């Protein structure tokens, strides 16, 4: 059970709000639910949740603007839950600062899995930075700035290494093409998504056991990538 983890649900549709409340409390989380962005903001300030489940279609605020506002002063993970199912909507939410995006309707198991990933990310952000990440036989050592496979050094290009470390520092979080381009190439390259695709393909060939069926660097179609561990 996860009795120490607090989840704030910001959702104006009563049936969905009840479903989310029952699902998360039933799995041991401490949960509060609100209907508006204003109520959500008060709870974030006073209750300090470990995770926010956020609907974009709120009655008193645009969810994207609200996400951007939160990101200006808090790193609390945000999972967007929305009926907007276009790739462009997902990209906008993730670029605004959301950690993940689920489209309604969704399965209980999928939501719970995303919650666990986001909460692990929150623990990582609020603890001493992890210096090593392991993926099967592959070890990324941030302190030594090396990548090894079964003890043998893997030679990555500077761009490949920066992408790998960026994904590792945001373990489980979806990073859009634009976010990766901005961090690795700079602000003038945010429209060159093919740069990322090429380097991700090269990186997979060096660290994945089966590059065509990646186990660690996962594609979010039309959106970007996330890195997951064996946990």
pLDDT of residue 231: 58
**Any idea what DSSP says for residue 188?**
G
Same domain, 22 and 98: yes
Residue 47: which CATH number? Answer: 3.40.50.2300
Gyration radius (Cα) of the chain, Å: 18
Same domain, 119 and 190: no
* pLDDT string in tens for the chain (231-residue length): 456 899 999 999 999 999 999 999 999 999 999 999 999 999 999 999 999 999 999 999 999 999 999 999 998 999 999 998 899 999 999 999 999 999 988 999 999 999 998 998 766 555 446 678 888 899 999 888 899 998 899 999 999 999 999 999 888 899 999 999 999 999 888 788 999 999 999 999 999 999 999 999 999 998 999 998 875
Q: What is the token pair recorded at 210? A: 């089966």
Q: Which of 100, 125, 150 is the last residue of a domain?
A: 125
Same domain, 117 and 14: yes
* In the block, residue with structure tokens 């401490």: 30
The span from the CA of 72 to the CA of 211, in Å, is 37
pLDDT of residue 188: 85
The span from the CA of 166 to the CA of 153, in Å, is 19
pLDDT of residue 46: 95
Same domain, 71 and 109: yes
Output the 3-class SS for 121-138: HHHHHCCCCCCEEEECCE
Strand 138-141 to 146-149 pairing: antiparallel
Number of C-beta neighbours around residue 11 at 10 A: 23
Same domain, 11 and 40: yes
Same domain, 101 and 206: no
The structure's pTM equals: 0.79
The span from the CA of 59 to the CA of 40, in Å, is 12
pLDDT of residue 3: 64
For residue 177, the enclosing domain spans 132-227
Residue 173: which CATH number? Answer: 1.10.10.10
Same domain, 136 and 59: no
Q: Are 206 and 140 in contact (CB under 8 A)?
A: no
Q: Which of 125, 146, 170 is the last residue of a domain?
A: 125
Same domain, 108 and 150: no
Same domain, 12 and 119: yes
Q: Which of 88, 110, 125 is the last residue of a domain?
A: 125
pLDDT of residue 40: 97
CA distances to 33, 40, 108 from 229, rounded to whole Å, are 31, 32, 22
Same domain, 110 and 166: no
Same domain, 28 and 96: yes
Strand 132-135 to 100-103 pairing: unpaired
* Domains contained in the chain, number: 2
The span from the CA of 196 to the CA of 215, in Å, is 18
pLDDT of residue 189: 82
Same domain, 65 and 146: no
- Alpha helices per DSSP H over the chain: 14-26, 37-47, 63-71, 87-96, 108-125, 158-169, 177-184, 193-207
150 by DSSP, 3-state: which? coil
The span from the CA of 138 to the CA of 209, in Å, is 10
């Amino acid at each position: 059970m996860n009795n120490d983890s607090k989840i704030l649900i910001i959702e104006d549709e009563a049936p969905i709000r009840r479903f989310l409340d029952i699902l998360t409390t039933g799995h041991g989380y401490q949960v509060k639910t609100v209907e508006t962005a204003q109520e959500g903001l008060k709870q974030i300030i006073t209750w300090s949740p470990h995770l926010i489940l956020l609907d974009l279609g709120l009655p008193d605020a645009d969810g994207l603007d609200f996400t951007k506002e939160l990101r200006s002063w808090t790193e609390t993970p945000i999972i967007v839950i929305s009926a907007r199912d276009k790739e462009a909507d997902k990209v906008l939410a993730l670029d605004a600062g959301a950690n993940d995006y689920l489209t309604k309707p969704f399965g209980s198991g999928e939501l719970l899995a995303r919650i666990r990933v986001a909460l692990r990310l929150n623990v990582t952000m609020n603890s001493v930075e992890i210096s090593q990440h392991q993926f099967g036989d592959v070890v990324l050592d941030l302190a030594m700035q090396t990548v090894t496979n079964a003890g043998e050094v893997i030679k990555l290009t500077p761009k490949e290494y920066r992408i790998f470390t960026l994904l590792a520092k945001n373990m489980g979080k979806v990073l859009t093409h634009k976010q990766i381009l901005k961090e690795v190439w700079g602000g003038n390259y945010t429209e060159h998504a093919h740069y990322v695709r090429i380097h991700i393909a090269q990186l997979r060939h060096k660290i994945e056991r089966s590059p065509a069926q990646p186990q660690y660097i996962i594609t979010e179609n039309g959106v970007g990538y996330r890195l997951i561990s064996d946990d």
